[in-house]
Amino acid sequence: MLCSHQYLRVKRKIEDNEQVYEEYEEEIQVYADRITTASDHFDIKDVLDITFKTMSGDRGFLYLHTTRGVYSYFTNANPEQLMEIYQKIKAQK
């Protein structure tokens, strides 16, 4: 593994007639040949780009642009290192 970055998965459910949000911390992991998350696996050749949209401070959405569509991940920290490593991998291919 070359790099990892934490993101939040938010689950919404109804308990006692009230809406409740549960947050789970998960990781995006970057390898030389793939990027994996808790629920998805992408070959590096299928990832077209990675972008980040800041919401407030370092919080924001990390977007994986893939041949299967765009996948968004909410994160509390700027994924600059992850994006730099991805760009280096793509430049070598």
User: Per DSSP, what are the bridge partners of residue 26?
Assistant: 7
pLDDT in tens, the chain (93 residues): 999 999 999 899 999 999 999 999 999 999 999 999 999 999 999 999 999 999 988 899 999 999 999 999 999 999 999 999 999 999 987
CA contacts within 13 A on the Cβ side of 40: 17
**Domain residue ranges of the chain, discontinuous segments joined by +:** 3-92
Give the CATH fold of the 3-92 domain. PH-domain like (2.30.29)
